[in-house]
Amino acid sequence: MPLFRILPALTEQETGRIILAQETLGLARGAYSLVESYCFDPDCDCRKVMINVMSDSSEILGTVGFGWENEDFYIKWLVDEDLGRQATGAYLEPGGIQTSSSEKCLSLVKKSLRDSDYVDLIKRHYQSFKNKIKKNSDKKKESL
pLDDT tens profile 62-98: 999 999 999 999 999 999 999 999 999 999 999 999 9
What's the angle, vertex CA 61, arms to CA 33 and CA 45, rounded to 5? 70
- Print the domain residue range for 41: 3-135
- Is 17 in contact with 31 (CB distance < 8 Å)? yes
Per-residue pLDDT of 119-140, as tens digits, reads: 999 999 999 999 999 998 887 7
Residues recorded for the chain = 144
* Number of domains the chain contains: 1
Please give the model's pTM, rounded to 2 decimal places: 0.91
13 belongs to a structural domain:
yes
Question: Which amino acid type is present at position 23?
Answer: E
Percent of the chain past pLDDT 70, that is, above it, reads: 99
Q: Calculate the average pLDDT of the chain.
A: 94
CA distances from 67 to 73, 89, 110, 126, 136 (A): 10, 5, 12, 11, 25
| Residue 141 counted as domain residue | no
Alpha-carbon torsion (29, 30, 31, 32), positive or negative: negative
Does residue 142 lie in a domain region?
Answer: no
Angle at CA of residue 53, ends 98 and 79, nearest 5°? 65
Instruction: Give residue 91's pLDDT.
Output: 97
Q: Is residue 38 part of a domain?
A: yes
- Whether 49 is in a domain gets the answer yes
Asked if the structure places residue 140 within a domain, the reply is no
| Domain presence at residue 109 | yes
Residue 18 lies in a domain: yes
| Cα gap 123→117, rounded to integer Å | 10
